[in-house]
Structure 1
Amino acid sequence: MDIRLEGDGVVLRQWAKRDLGQLVAIFDDAEMAYRLPVAAPFDLPAAEAYLTTARRAQLTGARIYLAITSGDDLARGEVVLNLATGTVGYSVGPAYRGQRLASRSLRLITGYAHSVADRPTVHLEIEADNAGSTAVARSAGYRPTGGDPVFVEDKGRRYALYRWSHNEPPAAATT
């Protein structure tokens, strides 16, 4: 299944082999390694493994991994939709931040999750001290659920992820 979403100056498309160098440019960063469950260092073999994992997850219907592009097809980040849980993850490479790519992409994949993947509620999981991700979530209409955090351990670090949610807008009433 080939997925391509366009809107608000953003194109979300599937990763391709031509993106391997950009995967390295996006994910081989100390903050990305700190916040995300990706290999560190994130080199070409790590990018190849990541692309294989993304393709396999999409083929099995588990997750959708899409590159964030903007007009010129250069991958600048990624959105991931877990189809079973309705949870979205997003990241933008350090060189491409400050362009609202994450919030525009999050709105686009959220709309897809509601309308095409039939998820009435879409979720995010964010660390409390991740101010950038919190700002992106708010700008895309997500709100904290107030529930207990989920604790995760990755690369020797244990941290709490707080759930945010976005509910599908109610259907317009017809008279």
Structure 2
Amino acid sequence: MDVRLEDDGVVLRQWSEQDLDQLVTLFDDAEMAYRLPVATPFDLAAAEAYLNAARRAEQAGARIYLAVTDGDDLPRGEVMLNLATGTIGYAIGPAYRGQRLASRALRLMTEYAHRVIGLPTVYLEIEPDNAGSMAVARSGGYRPTGDEPVFVEDKGRRYALHRWSHTEPAPPAVT
């Protein structure tokens, strides 16, 4: 599935082999390793394995992984849609934060999930101490569901993920 989304000064596009060095730059970071289920250290071999796993998931129709760019084609982060659960994940490299890239990418992917994929509700899973991610969620119109958190274990760390949701607005009633 070849997906390219563009609006509000952000372009979401497929990852390519030319992005491997930039994947290392983005994901070989202590905070990224702490928050994301990625290899640590995240070197070129890890980037190749990540890209291959992403492509297999896309070919299986399970997930969509898109590089977040601001139109100059340099990946500054990633946004991912899990098609089975309707869950979106996003990450922006530390050097590129503070530019509203995550908020703009989340809005684009949310709209795509609703309008193209046809998901009436889309979800995020956020740790309760991740204030930046919660701010991005709020800016995208997401609200906490109030559901019990899901506990995950990764790299020896056990943590809670709280669910946030975005429901597609109902079309206006025809009279």
Distance 1:22 1:81 in 2: 21
Map 1:5-154 onto structure 2 (within 5 A).
Answer: 5-154=5-154
Distance 2:74 2:52 in 1: 20
> Which consecutive residues of structure 2, in runs of 5 or more, have no partner in the other structure?
none
> Which consecutive residues of structure 1, in runs of 5 or more, have no partner in the other structure?
none
| Matching residue's letter, 1:139 | S
TM norm structure 1: 0.99
Residue 168 of structure 1 corresponds to which residue in structure 2? 168
TM norm structure 2: 0.99
Deviations 1:87-123 (A, max 9, x none): 0000000000000000000000000000111110000
Deviations 1:18-64 (A, max 9, x none): 00011001000000000000001000000000000010000000000
Q: CA RMSD in A?
A: 0.6
Distance 2:80 2:136 in 1: 15
Shift in Å at residue 148 of structure 1? Answer: 0.4
What's the secondary structure of 1:116's corresponding residue?
helix
Distance 2:115 2:128 in 1: 29
What's the secondary structure of 1:111's corresponding residue?
helix
Percent of pairs identical after alignment? 77
Runs (4 or more) in structure 1 with deviation over 4 Å come to none
| Matching residue's letter, 2:151 | F
Distance 1:99 1:172 in 2: 34
| Matching residue's letter, 1:5 | L
